[in-house]
Amino acid sequence: MQIITKEWNTDANLRVPEWIDWDSSLCIDIETTGLSPASSFLYLIGCTYISNGCFYVKQWFSEGIDQEEQILKDFCEWASGYRCLIHFNGSTFDIPYLSAKCKKYGLEPLFEGFEQLDIYKRLYPYRRFFPIPNLKQKTVEGFLGIGREDLFSGGELIPVYTAYVGRLRYESCVRQTPNTGSFDSSSRNARDFEPEQMHKALQTEGRLPHIPADVLKEALLGHNREDVGNLPKLLQMLSYAEAFRGHLTLETARIEAVQRPSAPVTDGLPDMSSELILKLHSELMFPVSFAITAPLVLKSETACCCRISFEGNLCTLTVPVYQGEVRHYYENYKDYYYLIEEGIVSHKSVAGFVSAKYRRKAKPEECCYKKAGRFLPQPENTFEPYYYKEYKDRFSWFELTAEFKNDPKALTRYAKELLLCLTGQTKNPK
What is the reported pLDDT for 12? 56
In angstroms, the CA 93 to CA 121 distance is: 12
Contact (CB, 8 A) for 414 and 377: no
The pLDDT > 70 percentage for the chain reads: 84
What element of type H or E holds 323?
Answer: strand 314-329
Note whether 226 and 27 are within 8 A (CB).
no
What pLDDT sits at residue 172?
77
**343-355 pLDDT, tens digit each:** 888 888 998 888 8
Say if residue 247's pLDDT is above 70: yes
Q: Which of 172-181, 198-207, 400-409 has the highest mean pLDDT?
A: 400-409
Q: How many CA atoms lie within 13 A of 257 on its CB side?
A: 4
- Domains in the chain (CATH in brackets) are 2-238 (3.30.420.10), 246-330+367-422 (no CATH), 333-363 (no CATH)
Q: Before 385, cis peptide (omega within 30)? A: yes
Does 129 have pLDDT greater than 50?
A: yes
Is pLDDT at 187 greater than 50 in this prediction?
A: no
Tell me the per-residue pLDDT of 357-378, one tens digit each, with 9 for 90 and over.
889 998 988 898 889 999 999 8
Instruction: Return the amino acid letter for 4.
Output: I
Between 300 and 47, the more confident residue is 47
Say which residues have a Cβ less than 8 Å from residue 252's Cβ, sequence separation at least 6: 278, 279
**Beta carbons within 10 angstroms of residue 200's beta carbon:** 12
Average pLDDT, the chain: 85
Mean pLDDT of 208-237: 90
Identify which of 237, 231, 195 has the alpha carbon closest to the alpha carbon of residue 8: 231
Task: Encode pLDDT of 30-59 as tens digits.
Answer: 999 999 999 999 999 999 999 888 899 999
Please report, in angstroms and rounded to a whole number, the separation of the first and last CA atoms in the chain: 61
| Dihedral pair phi/psi, residue 223, rounded to 5° | -60, -50
